[in-house]
């Protein structure tokens, strides 16, 4: 028997013209997702991409899979229905910082706490790109925009912190042009059974260009990034710096590492299951600490859809399924009236 042919990245590219602004980070993310689908052996007929509203939410048009471009913020609700109706489908949710954390924040919270088996890719460009650059839930304090001309006075949402607080069991980060790293992060997210939340920093070249230049640009500082690996010391700056835990103050600290071959014993080793350390990594101040990327937290628990299906199977075991009998069960009555007006 001949083996089924493996799908190449190009097989996951639709016939639709990709229409984002030239230089938009979404192009890179699209390529990474297509490569990932090929590498995990995905089948187009078993894959569905569901999005809300925003630049990122054009994704379903550009993937040769099933797709559903839903309404603003409601992708998690639609995805839940899709997964429960057909658990065999591989569900990917694509959303943005506005769509997923503003009007869709409530839906996102419940999807994560329920632990639906799906992958959530949240593109974070810290601005409303589709509607011309207004301040978004993740915009930094002081951001000047059409909706905050004197500078935002709000404190921004930390997407990964939101996910952790909502009960997500898999949290990871990447950035748009990290083509050598992002597919590995996405493959880990896909292999996790339950809700996988991946924040992807994405440059909006028109309305917020260079927001992540310090760690994601071509001239990024070598001490600005920390790529986490399970069971490996938290080293960055070409191995010359590390993170340790100040146990008295319960805070992370940056420490120098003199010898890369003999890492100091107090440099933290990454334990993906440690929720407390995950919170500290997520909360590291932008600039004075490196930005933590890769898989930050992974502690699996049974998925929502599996639990629902198991419960339904137990409840229906040994019972005859008769819709007519169900509708007529219990008290029934008939309405009598004047036949001239069609009642009776």
Residues 81/86/91/94 CA torsion (nearest 10 deg): -30
Tokens at residue 183, please?
Answer: 């597919």
Res 4 pLDDT > 70: no
Instruction: Check if the beta carbon of residue 215 is closer than 8 Å to that of residue 173.
Output: no
Per DSSP, the three-state class of 253 is strand
Q: What is the CA radius of gyration of the chain?
A: 24
170-175 and 291-298 beta bridge pairing: antiparallel
Residues 20-76 pLDDT 10s: 999 999 999 999 999 999 999 999 999 999 999 999 999 999 999 999 999 999 999
Tokens at residue 136, please?
Answer: 């978004």
CA 259 to chain centre: 37
| Cα four-point dihedral sign 253, 157, 32, 277 | positive
CA 331 to chain centre: 48
How far is the C-alpha of 119 from the C-alpha of 221, rounded, in Å?
Answer: 30
How far is the C-alpha of 37 from the C-alpha of 337, rounded, in Å?
Answer: 63
* pLDDT at residue number 258: 79
* pLDDT at residue number 265: 67
Phi and psi for 324 in degrees, rounded to 5? -60, -45
Confidence of residue 151 (pLDDT cuts 50, 70, 90): very high
- Domains observed in the chain: 9-231+271-305 (3.40.50.970), 233-269 (no CATH)
* pLDDT at residue number 297: 98
| Cα four-point dihedral sign 25, 28, 31, 35 | negative
User: Above pLDDT 90, what percent of the chain?
Assistant: 79
- Considering the entire predicted model, what is its pTM? 0.91
Instruction: Check if the beta carbon of residue 277 is closer than 8 Å to that of residue 268.
Output: yes
Tokens at residue 142, please?
Answer: 């002081």
Which of 172, 176, 175 has its CA nearest to residue 197?
A: 172
How far is the C-alpha of 199 from the C-alpha of 189, rounded, in Å?
Answer: 11
Burial of 192 (0-12, 13-18, 19+ CB in 10 A): buried
Out of 114-123, 266-275, 313-322, 332-341, least confident range: 332-341
* pLDDT at residue number 338: 66
Instruction: Check if the beta carbon of residue 268 is closer than 8 Å to that of residue 251.
Output: no
Out of 45-49, 283-287, 331-335, least confident range: 331-335
How far is the C-alpha of 97 from the C-alpha of 258, rounded, in Å?
Answer: 39
Which of 72, 146, 62, 69 has its CA nearest to residue 106?
A: 72
Round to the nearest angstrom and report the end-to-end CA distance of the chain: 64
Tell me the β-bridge partners of 255.
Answer: 242
Out of 128-142, 210-224, 234-248, 254-268, least confident range: 254-268
Confidence of residue 84 (pLDDT cuts 50, 70, 90): very high
How far is the C-alpha of 255 from the C-alpha of 243, rounded, in Å?
Answer: 6
């Amino acid at each position: 028997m001949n083996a089924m042919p493996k799908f190449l990245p190009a097989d996951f590219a639709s016939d639709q013209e990709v229409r984002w602004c030239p230089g938009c980070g979404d192009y890179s993310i699209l390529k990474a997702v297509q490569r990932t689908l090929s590498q995990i052996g995905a089948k187009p007929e078993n894959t569905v991409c569901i999005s809300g509203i925003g630049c990122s939410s054009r994704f379903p048009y550009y993937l040769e899979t099933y797709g559903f471009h839903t309404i603003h913020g409601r992708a998690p609700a639609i995805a839940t229905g899709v997964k429960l109706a057909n658990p065999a489908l591989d569900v990917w949710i694509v959303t943005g910082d506005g769509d997923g954390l503003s009007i869709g924040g409530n839906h996102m919270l419940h999807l994560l706490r329920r632990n639906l088996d799906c992958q959530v890719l949240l593109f974070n460009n810290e601005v409303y790109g589709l509607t011309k650059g207004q301040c978004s839930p993740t915009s930094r304090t002081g951001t000047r925009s059409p909706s905050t001309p004197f500078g935002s006075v709000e404190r921004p949402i930390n997407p990964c912190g939101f996910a952790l607080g909502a009960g997500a069991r898999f949290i990871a980060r990447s950035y748009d042009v990290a083509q050598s790293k992002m597919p590995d992060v996405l493959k880990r997210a896909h292999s996790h059974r339950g809700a996988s939340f991946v924040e992807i920093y994405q440059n909006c070249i028109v309305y917020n260009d260079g927001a992540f230049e310090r760690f994601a640009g071509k001239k990024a500082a070598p001490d600005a990034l920390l790529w986490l690996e399970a069971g490996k010391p938290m080293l960055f700056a070409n191995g010359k710096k590390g993170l340790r835990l100040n146990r008295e103050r319960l805070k992370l600290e940056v420490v120098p590492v003199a010898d890369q071959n003999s890492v100091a014993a107090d440099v933290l080793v990454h334990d993906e299951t440690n929720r407390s350390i995950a919170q500290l990594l997520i909360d590291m101040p932008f600039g004075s600490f490196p930005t933590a990327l890769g898989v930050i937290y992974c502690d699996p628990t049974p998925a929502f859809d599996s639990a629902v299906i198991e419960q339904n199977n137990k409840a229906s075991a040994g019972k005859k399924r008769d819709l007519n009998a169900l509708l007529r069960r219990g008290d029934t009555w008939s309405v009598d009236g004047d036949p001239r007006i069609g009642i009776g």
